[in-house]
Amino acid sequence: MFYLASRGYRCIAHDRRGHGRSSQPWNGNDMDTYADDLAKLVEVLDLKDAIHVGHSTGGGEVARYIGRHGAKRVAKAVLIGAIPPLMLKTPANPGGTPIEAFDQIRAAVVADRSQFWKDLSLPFYGYNRPDAKVSQGLQESFWLQGMMAGFPAAYLCIKAFSETDLTEDLQKFDVPTLVLHGDDDQIVPIGASALLSSKLIKNAILKVYKGAPHGMCSTHKDQVNEDLLAFIKG
């Protein structure tokens, strides 16, 4: 955002309900409500010709927003390391992640969520790979962001990001869309996400970052910034 704002673009970020500095209600920790919250923000700020950029679960939020509310206020969309179309392994989605993996995440959050965030930072940024250049500061920032999420949101959003089928939402996209994904993403494996979503979205542009992890917006920020700017200008 700093990169784009420094180049004259108005940049707006919202903290998802239950996360960051947003209020922490027990209800509404599901993709439909996330999308409706976004729609309310867009309406209140009267945003037009906006470019929606969503990373990870945020990519699901962008997809469900367009699926539920249309793209009349959207100029373009960008999905980065995003969860669509569906993370969960099902008979129709054999390349997905088994439910047991998400059950383990839920158990870890309940048992010791602070330690869970610390442990998760390693695969999130690819710091568990040989010769990885590790930033302790980035790990601590990740931990802080995790701990700023309310407990209900941290727990309930797991179901939202893993079990929400966004296939039909992607098929409703009618704006230019850029899909960025790392081929070493250990959190949202590329095979069940970007490689599928880029085919479901009409005329989507897919760009694969070789060796990039899930946290590519931090580890590969210069490249991401350049690709975003080029897409915005294009």
Active-site residue numbers?
Answer: 56, 185, 214
8 A C-beta contact, residue 44 and residue 65: no
Residue 22 exposed, middle or buried by CB count within 10 Å (0-12, 13-18, 19+): middle
Strands (E) in 29-129, as ranges, are 50-55, 74-80
What is the rounded distance in angstroms from the CA atom of residue 131 to the CA atom of residue 88? 31
| CB neighbour list of residue 32: distance below 8 Å, 6 or more residues apart | 64, 68
Query: Rounded to an integer, what distance in angstroms lies between the CA atom of residue 230 and that of residue 124?
Result: 26
